[in-house]
A = this chain, B = another copy of it.
């Protein structure tokens, strides 16, 4: 960020008077341009004992498999965002059930919100951001070519809950380290 989006003057990085951290502030009109984490909303579309996955046609992780998910837009709820992303990426219609996983990714300033959902029919086909869309049983899931750690953790807990016969909402963090990442569950595990 170099220029003020309100007046076009140059931006300086400084701590505003009533604040305690550095912000991008306009050198002319003093507008403070806050930056905040973004929400990625998506779902686990279930059909019998299978889930729908999309093979990515875009970067990052082109060619890898993912659950339908994407950035939440202004004016919508996280549930609406999950439904829209599933339609855009897989042309698939879902009935959203519970909020299932909330995962913080502080190294990329994202928070994932993944819902459980029921696929309403099997008339899906790849949207422009997917090269392939398909249904997978637990054994068929391409665990080694999943696109993101968030997707791996969501599916891992999902099948753990399928086995237990009960689903619960979980929240946790994915923290990058030298070996890849660490997943820290801080809410929702069995007590």
Q: What is the size, in residues, of chain A's interface with B at 8 Å between Cβ atoms?
A: 49
Q: A75 to nearest B CB, angstroms? A: 6
Digitize A54-78: 1 where CB-to-B-CB distance is under 8 Å, 0 elsewhere.
Answer: 0000000000000000011111111
With known contacts A3-B8, A4-B5, A37–B74 Cβ distance under 8 A: yes
As for how many copies of this chain the complex holds, the number is 2
Which residues on B sit within 8 Å (CB–CB) of A4?
A: 3, 5
Which residues on B sit within 8 Å (CB–CB) of A187?
A: 97-99, 115, 169
Q: A146 to nearest B CB, angstroms? A: 22
Residues A173 and B2 in contact, CB atoms below 8 Å apart: no
Q: A186 to nearest B CB, angstroms? A: 6
The yes or no answer to A96 lying at the interface (CB within 8 A) is: yes
Nearest B-chain residue to A175, judged by Cβ:
B77
Considering only residues 11-53 of chain A, those with a C-beta below 8 Å from chain B are 11, 18, 20-21, 33-39
Q: How far is the CA of A128 from the CA of B104 in the complex (A)?
A: 28
Residues A36 and B74 in contact, CB atoms below 8 Å apart: yes
The yes or no answer to A133 lying at the interface (CB within 8 A) is: no
Give which listed residue, B20, B73, B98, contacts A188 with CB less than 8 A: B98
Which residues on B sit within 8 Å (CB–CB) of A36?
A: 38-39, 71-74
Complex interface: stretch among A106-114, A118-126, A147-155, A157-165: A106-114
Residues B96 and A77 in contact, CB atoms below 8 Å apart: no
With known contacts A11-B5, A78-B104, A104-B78, A169–B99 Cβ distance under 8 A: yes
Of the candidates A36, A71, A77, the one having the most CB atoms from chain B within 10 angstroms of its own CB is A77
Known contacts A2-B5, A169-B169, then 16 further A-B pairs from the complex at CB < 8 Å, ordered by chain A residue: A2-B8, A3-B7, A3-B8, A4-B5, A5-B11, A8-B8, A18-B128, A36-B39, A36-B71, A72-B111, A74-B109, A76-B106, A98-B171, A99-B187, A169-B187, A169-B188
